[in-house]
Amino acid sequence: MRGVGKFLKDTTGASAAEYGLILGIIIVVGATGFMALGPGVSTLYTRADDTVAQQASAVIRLNDPDSEIDAEN
């Protein structure tokens, strides 16, 4: 019985439990943030990809000697 009393009064492990709790809260908040920002970031990258693809195809057409686009305009 004496060992159980010592175990219950021992608070050295409390800080480890608190750190675990804090880490769990940080993980939940981070996951929630990523899930909330996910669609917006996906849209941003899709728009950037579309813009780069359009600009690249315009450059290719300008450099194509068989293209009907006038390079000086």
Predicted confidence at residue 19, as pLDDT, reads 86
pLDDT tens string 23-32: 999 999 999 9
Q: Please identify every stretch of the chain with a pLDDT value under 50, giving residue numbers as ranges.
A: 71, 73
In the chain, domain spans: 2-63
Torsion (CA) 11, 17, 25, 34 in degrees, nearest 10: 150
Predicted confidence at residue 31, as pLDDT, reads 93
Predicted confidence at residue 46, as pLDDT, reads 92
Predicted confidence at residue 22, as pLDDT, reads 92
Q: Give the Å distances, CA to CA, from 68 to 50, 53, 57, 63.
A: 23, 20, 14, 11
What is the spatial distance between Cα 59 and Cα 71, in angstroms, rounded to a whole number?
10
Say what the pTM is: 0.45
